[in-house]
Amino acid sequence: MSEDDFLDDDDEEELVQVSHLVPKSVREDAQQNSGHGDLSDAVRMAYRTIAYGDDYQNTTRLKQRLERAKNEYRRLVEEKDAVEDEMEDTEDRIRQLREQLETAEEADERFDELIEELETKLEGGSHVFPGHGGVVEAAEIGGVSEGEVIDTLKDRNPEIPDDAFVPQSEAEFEWTGL
């Protein structure tokens, strides 16, 4: 600590060291009941009060309380700023997740539309198989394999024979629809 740490605004004189004899238990209890530097501050305050009167002590305490209040205010502003930054980050994450959800929902809707279109083609007698344009598109949009698209169609349409799910040239019999 520097000499300035012990001075009030009105102290310009050279500091002198003083010592007092007090019972050891009193000193130890006083040190235990005060924070670092508080005991020295209290002794200096006692000197000032004796030297200048009670008004000095009241003014000084008010200055100290004002300084503590200012420090508390600064701390709260920093906390508020940190919370506002966290809120902005969370708002950004919410916006991004909403956009991702919207995109995923649109992809799901488009996937379902393509599956329905493929089912209509199957019912009309067309062959639908891996490599078929609609199957390829459904697989890309749905984020699945072409085989999984065919499996979905088979699961949803158990009445359609397996020959409808291969190219017509590879089918054992001609598929003409339902």
User: For residues 155 and 150, what is the distance between their CA atoms, to the nearest angstrom?
Assistant: 9
pLDDT for 12: 64
Retrieve residue 163's tokens. Answer: 């020959």
pLDDT at 137 over 60: yes
Contacts with 156 (C-beta within 8 Å, 6 or more apart), sequence order: 115, 119
pLDDT band at 130 (very low <50, low <70, confident <90, very high): very high
Residue pair 139/146 in contact (Cβ under 8 Å)? The answer is yes
Per-position b or e across 20-46, b if 16+ CB within 10 A of its CB: eeeeeeeeeeeeeeeeeeeeeeeebbe
- The average pLDDT across 144-153 equals 97
**Placement of tokens 């949009």 in the chain:** 141
pLDDT for 101: 97
pLDDT digits (tens, 9 = 90+) for 31-85: 888 888 788 888 887 887 787 777 766 777 788 889 999 999 999 999 999 999 9
pLDDT at 16 over 80: yes
pLDDT digits (tens, 9 = 90+) for 72-124: 999 999 999 999 999 999 999 999 999 999 999 999 999 999 999 999 999 99
Q: CA 107 from chain center: how many Å?
A: 28
Retrieve residue 124's tokens. Answer: 């009309």
